[in-house]
Amino acid sequence: LQTRLQAGQGYGNTLNCVLTVYRNESVAGFFKGMSFPLASIAIYSSVVFGVFKNTQRLLSQLHHRDPSCTPALADVALASMVTGFVSVGIGTPVDLVKIRLQMQTQTYIKANIKLKPTVPGFPVYRGPIHCFRTVLQKEGIAGIYRGMGAMLLRDVPGYCLYFIPYTVFCGWITPDGCISPNPFSICLAGGVAGAISWGTATPMDVVKSRLQADGVYLNKYKGTLDCILQSYQNEGLKVFFRGVTVNAVRGFPMSSAMFLGYELSLKAMKRDQSETNP
């Protein structure tokens, strides 16, 4: 829904998008492009949380000579920014394939745009591997990383607004005297952080989605700035908030589960390490 609302044509609101997708493509339409993100999410998440945690430990070592020391908010912010930069290297190709698969049956009703030979409304790609290979052959590495600039502008501040609120909220709602937050605190803090991060990242998420969807049948945008200007000129400021409700709503449960898995995994590994090295 998020991609259709941000880069598609003819969807008035979220409910209209849901009904249109279901009417035209049945339930299967809601799961288009899912396989590639599903196959890569474990690697992506491990890189994101691994980079964040190890950067925090490095900063604590540099500043306090103790990697286990509680990091300051400035260290959390810097670790978040590093995480955002690194995540784009993995996330951009995955998002591009997902968006191309989701948008390949969308019609384009824009005048004076030269369409590619493929007829709009019919699938261009047979699946994620075929999509990745086709983009790589026709557009090269630059095509695979299309939208990378917009994704950097989304993820670098986005991860700051992901990890900082989580750290702050966890500190607020964890009872005094507890060494680590309980599962309820983790879920609540993670959900709030996810809603804040995804909600505020929506404007650049719209630009990224449009840049990555661009290229299935036509090449409309020359780059990030051109996409921003064209979108604003044609549809006004409100275009940058398309899908904000979907982003914020999905961000809560997704981030709750992500942070819970992360914290429980850390506890399990620390327990195993202490049992191995008493």
CATH number of the domain to which 233 belongs:
1.50.40.10
Whether residue 101 is found in the same domain as residue 189: no
Whether residue 132 is found in the same domain as residue 180: no
Query: What is the per-residue pLDDT across 6-51, written as a single tens digit (0 to 9) for each?
Result: 666 666 666 777 777 777 777 776 666 677 677 778 888 889 999 9
Give the pLDDT mean for 211-217.
Answer: 78
**pLDDT number for residue 245:** 87
The larger pLDDT score, comparing residue 143 to residue 106, is at 143
Round to whole Å and give the CA distance between 228 and 207. Answer: 7
Whether residue 123 is found in the same domain as residue 232: no
For residue 218, being part of any structural domain is answered with: yes
Q: How far is CA 50 from the centre of its chain?
A: 17
Round to whole Å and give the CA distance between 161 and 3. Answer: 22
Whether the predicted pLDDT of 278 surpasses 70: no
Whether the predicted pLDDT of 214 surpasses 70: yes
Whether the predicted pLDDT of 110 surpasses 50: no
Whether residue 85 is found in the same domain as residue 151: no
- Domain of residue 177, residue span: 146-277
**pLDDT number for residue 109:** 43
pTM of the entire predicted model: 0.81
**pLDDT number for residue 213:** 86
Query: What is the per-residue pLDDT across 131-177, written as a single tens digit (0 to 9) for each?
Result: 899 999 988 999 999 999 999 999 999 999 999 999 999 888 876 65
Please name the amino acid found at residue 246. V
For residue 2, being part of any structural domain is answered with: no
Round to whole Å and give the CA distance between 236 and 255. Answer: 31
**pLDDT number for residue 273:** 61
Round to whole Å and give the CA distance between 181 and 18. Answer: 37
| Dihedral sign (CA 37, 42, 43, 46) | positive
Res. 2 pLDDT band, cuts 50 70 90: low
Cβ contact 53:96 at 8 Å = no
Cβ contact 240:203 at 8 Å = yes
Whether residue 193 is found in the same domain as residue 245: yes
**pLDDT number for residue 7:** 66
**pLDDT, averaged across the chain:** 82
**Angle formed by the axes of helices 73-103 and 202-213, nearest 10°:** 40
In order of 55, 66, 171, 206, the CA distances from 58 in angstroms are 5, 9, 21, 34
